[in-house]
Amino acid sequence: MNDTNTQKQQLFQAVEEMRPEIIGFLQRLIQIPSENPPGNYSEISTFLQEELTDLGFEVQVISVPDEMTSAAGLPTPRKNVIATLRGSGEGRNLIFNSHLDTVPAGDPEQWDYPPFSGMIANGRIYGRGATDSKGRLSAYIMAAVALARTSLTRNGDVIIAATCDEETGGILGAGYINQNGHVHGDMVIVEGYSNHIVRAMAGVLQLKITTDGIPAHAGYKWKGLNAVEKMAKVVQGLENLQKDLEQEPSSIPGMKYTTVNIGTIQGGTKVNVVPATCEIEVDFRVIPEHSLDQIYNRVVSLLEVLEKNDPAFKVKLTRITDFQTDPTITQEDSPLISELQQAVQEVTGHTLPVVGVLAQADTRWFIQNGIPGINYGPGTSENNIHGFNEYMEIEDLIQTTKILTVLAKNIVC
């Protein structure tokens, strides 16, 4: 048996021997609620600090300054955990990033198993965060630990960046640690799925559009100006824009085209009153072939045409900047993709599709910091993410941990 096969067998054996530990670690993470909002990170960050120190990591808990959380209107402290498994300092450094927060569990009566139980049934671990993203975090941590338990010499570092607030944009999580120099590495794997590799994510543009009218009694409608009816023209215009955008597809598999979603609408005060205002909020998921400004300007043009054709049409357009980001892309020939594909091949005998998605993740913060990144991890979109009965398939968790362990070996050893 050659050295490569011997090393691979060492890694596989290490992960298999850790199977109960990997499962138990995920269960314990699930059992620590970290719903966002509100974002309670004290217990889970303390748990990780203690556990990862015992596992051989150098651990820092990085607290976001109180004045920043107060300015953001957040009721609880924001904490990020950076844990480093040191190498000799002579190789490449690999970052694994996953977030600490989860969306709220919702009505516990709608769950087959309590949402913070980490219950095992049917070969699955159930609970809020089982996949998104405590399952990913468990796999990342345990891949690093499995590598450390072999006889292989590590030249580079393996870094775990467990960050807060991804579910609400990540500004004080992955954004904060990247913008303030708390994390350094040559490449990053960010939360993702085990059935494909994500190299591109859509930009996000959100707009508020308000039409103005004149209130009047419904029995004397001609004395007023109906803002809802004026907004109907805007909605029709946005539907036509969507049809145009469907004819401009992305070249990246999985990304389809830039989407237009009218997410909220508010108008009027009472059924027998001509509404004086109407407001919609619109979310655009922007493919890399478009820019946010291009899409914004197309909306501006649409509204200008409506104003030109209707002298009574009065509209206000506002760009919502709370969660706005350009499309994020890693080139298809990136060495990180080929190295992950090699690890997948070594474990499974095949490679994975490389795709883009019309969503966003914390990858963008690392890419903006000059660190190449892609998304990959255990679980799939079928695992009831953000829904009731979220789960992680145990065999998926174990196999993906093996792949990540091989990847870590190939990069840092």
3-state secondary structure of 260: strand
Say which CATH number the domain at 236 has: 3.30.70.360
pLDDT tens-digit readout, 10-34: 999 999 999 999 999 999 999 999 9
pLDDT of residue 229: 98
How far is residue 276's CA from residue 228's CA, in Å, rounded to a whole number? 8
Residue 336 and residue 270 share a domain: no
Residue 219 and residue 356 share a domain: no
Q: Give CA separation, 37 vs 43, 46, 73, 167, 168, in Å.
A: 15, 19, 12, 9, 8
pLDDT of residue 3: 77
CB contact set of 239 (below 8 Å; sequence gap of 6+): 260
Please say which residue of 295, 325, 355 terminates a domain.
325
Residue 178 and residue 117 share a domain: yes
Residue 163 and residue 28 share a domain: yes
Residue 357 and residue 305 share a domain: no
How far is residue 221's CA from residue 214's CA, in Å, rounded to a whole number? 10
- Is the torsion defined by CA of 21, 22, 25, 27 positive or negative? negative
Residue 212 and residue 195 share a domain: no
pLDDT tens-digit readout, 44-80: 999 999 999 999 999 999 999 999 999 999 999 999 9
Residue 16 and residue 156 share a domain: yes
Using 50, 70 and 90 to split pLDDT, how confident is the model at 2? low
Residue 185 and residue 77 share a domain: yes
pLDDT tens-digit readout, 306-328: 999 999 999 999 999 888 999 99
Amino acid identity for residue 375 in this structure? N
Please say which residue of 283, 305, 325 terminates a domain.
325
The CA-based angle 192-197-199, given to 5 degrees, is 95
Domain of residue 340, residue span: 3-201+328-412
How far is residue 376's CA from residue 30's CA, in Å, rounded to a whole number? 20
pLDDT tens-digit readout, 369-413: 999 999 999 999 999 999 999 999 999 999 999 999 999 999 999
| Residue 80, Ramachandran bin (φ over 0: left; ψ between -120 and 50: alpha; else beta) | beta
Q: Each residue of 272-297: b (16+ CB within 10 Å) or e? A: eebbbbbbbbbbbbbbbebebeebbe
Say which CATH number the domain at 361 has: 3.40.630.10
How far is residue 115's CA from residue 103's CA, in Å, rounded to a whole number? 12
Please say which residue of 268, 296, 325 terminates a domain.
325
Residue 144 and residue 282 share a domain: no
Decide: residue 177, CB within 10 A, 0-12 exposed, 13-18 middle, 19+ buried: buried
The tally of domains found in the chain comes to 2
Are 320 and 217 contacting, i.e. CB atoms less than 8 angstroms apart? Answer: no
Residue 27 and residue 114 share a domain: yes
Query: pLDDT above 70 covers what percent of the chain?
Result: 100
Residue 216 and residue 167 share a domain: no
At which residue do the structure tokens 């509204």 appear?
303
pLDDT tens-digit readout, 144-189: 999 999 999 999 999 999 999 999 999 999 999 999 999 999 999 9
Residue 316 and residue 345 share a domain: no
- Is the torsion defined by CA of 250, 383, 342, 350 positive or negative? negative
